Amino acid sequence: MGAAESTAQNTEDNRFVSGDHYTVLGITESATAEEIRVAFRKLALVHHPDKNMNDVEGATQRFAAVQQAYEILSNDQDRAYYDSQKAFRVPQPTQKEEQEEEVTSTMPGFLRPEARPEQVTPESASRRTQPNGSWRGDGRSSPTFNSKKILTFEDIIRFHLLLSPELDFFGDGTHSFYALYHEIFHRIAADEPDFKADSYMCFGNSATPWKLPRIFKQMRPSPVSVADFYDSWMKFETSKDFSSVVDLQTSNAGSRKTQKKTRQKNNYLLRKAADDYNQAVRALVTMVRAVDPRYICRKSPCMCRACYAENFQKTRRRR
């Protein structure tokens, strides 16, 4: 195999381990359902293990990547969820990195006044999304949430889309990053049947420290740090009943066998709704943490615009 052929082969192999479903299928993010189907059929024929007897192991891995990409992108809901979090996939900190973190008086949460950039009022704050958990504002009033119905998967996806670089990430004003996501996470928490206002893990503000000295852990109630917030919300599990928003089948008529199958189907739909909701919330937490200045600068004494902007652009380039 020549150098050119070897390079081409490596490029092809990298495509299937890229983790990007669009790259795997060789399509754009604006591809139609038909284009997704055609791309899948072509690749499935080429990379099926039965068609590659000389490279069964490699073909199996490639075919699995193609199949997974198709399963996600061919489902409208799964594709919307995938797209919403795709730009914010960032490497997670290792356990060693977390243990090495130290609290100092110069870390976020103990900001020097001169480290704060001027506040930026987001023009995008006037964006409007549709009900249940939508943030409704005209760029001047504070965000308000419609709480008449329970939040759903679609509502959490809308919360993903509210993140904008035009938000004020360094102040605590009405249209700041902290004000918006403090209210969003409060809305999500308050939607749970076992919600208690005095015990839920809140998002905090720009003055909330990343970690607290151990002495504070002995206090009752113990103060909450930013690290505590993310540790807790990364394990989010809803206890809501989604029967009011899931299209369940009726089981009044038919034989006992038919009614049993209907109940099983309904139980599956309810479990799936809860699982999808949990995944959407956890993805939201991951996305917000990726651009949270308190997380970005958790090891350094700065909280400057340049440091934050560089990290925000990295997350956006992951599309």
Residues 191 and 299 reside in one and the same domain = yes
Residues 79 and 159 reside in one and the same domain = no
Query: How many domains, the chain?
Result: 2
User: Per residue, what are the HEC states of the chain?
Assistant: CCHHHHHHHHHHHHHHCCCCHHHHHCCCCCCCHHHHHHHHHHHHHHHCHHHCHHHHHHHHHHHHHHHHHHHHHCCHHHHHHHHHHHCCCCCCCCHHHHHHCCCCCCCCCCCCHHHCCCCCCCHHHHCCCCCCCCCECCCCCCCECCCCCCCCHHHHHHHHHCCCCCCECCCCCCCEHHHHHHHHHHHHHHCCCCCCCCCCCCCCCCCCCCCCCHHHHCCCCCCCCHHHHHHHHCCCCCCCCCCCCCCCCCCCCCCHHHHHHHHHHHHHHHHHHHHHHHHHHHHHHHHHHHHCHHHHCCCCCCCCHHHHHHHHHHHHCCC
Tell me, yes or no, whether 252 lies in a domain.
Answer: yes
What pLDDT digit, counting tens, does each position of 41-99 carry? Answer: 999 889 888 788 888 888 888 888 898 889 889 888 778 878 766 655 544 554 555 55
Q: Give the range of the structural domain holding residue 78, as residue numbers without chain letter.
A: 14-83
- Cβ(133)–Cβ(121) below 8 Å: no
Residues 187 and 306 reside in one and the same domain = yes
What pLDDT digit, counting tens, does each position of 112-134 carry? Answer: 333 333 333 333 333 333 333 33
CA 291, CA 238: separation in Å to the nearest integer? 25
pLDDT tens for the chain, 319 residues long, are 454 444 445 556 678 887 789 999 999 988 999 999 999 999 988 988 878 888 888 888 888 889 888 988 988 877 887 876 665 554 455 455 555 554 443 334 333 333 333 333 333 333 333 333 333 333 333 344 555 578 988 889 888 888 887 888 888 888 899 999 999 999 999 999 988 877 778 898 888 888 877 665 555 555 678 999 999 999 999 999 888 888 877 766 667 777 788 888 888 888 988 999 999 999 899 889 988 888 888 876 555 555 555 555 555 554 4
Tell me, yes or no, whether 129 lies in a domain.
Answer: no
Amino acid at 143: P
Q: Which of 83, 107, 127 is the last residue of a domain?
A: 83
For residue 58, the domain's CATH number is 1.10.287.110
- CA nearest to 223, candidates 197, 195, 201: 201
Angle, alpha carbons 36-28-52 (nearest 5°)? 55
Tell me, yes or no, whether 110 lies in a domain.
Answer: no
Residues 51 and 162 reside in one and the same domain = no
Tell me, yes or no, whether 89 lies in a domain.
Answer: no
Strand partners of residue 144:
136
Tell me, yes or no, whether 76 lies in a domain.
Answer: yes
CA 140, CA 173: separation in Å to the nearest integer? 11
- CA nearest to 201, candidates 177, 176, 221: 221
Residues 158 and 65 reside in one and the same domain = no
- Cβ(204)–Cβ(226) below 8 Å: yes
CA 41, CA 300: separation in Å to the nearest integer? 50
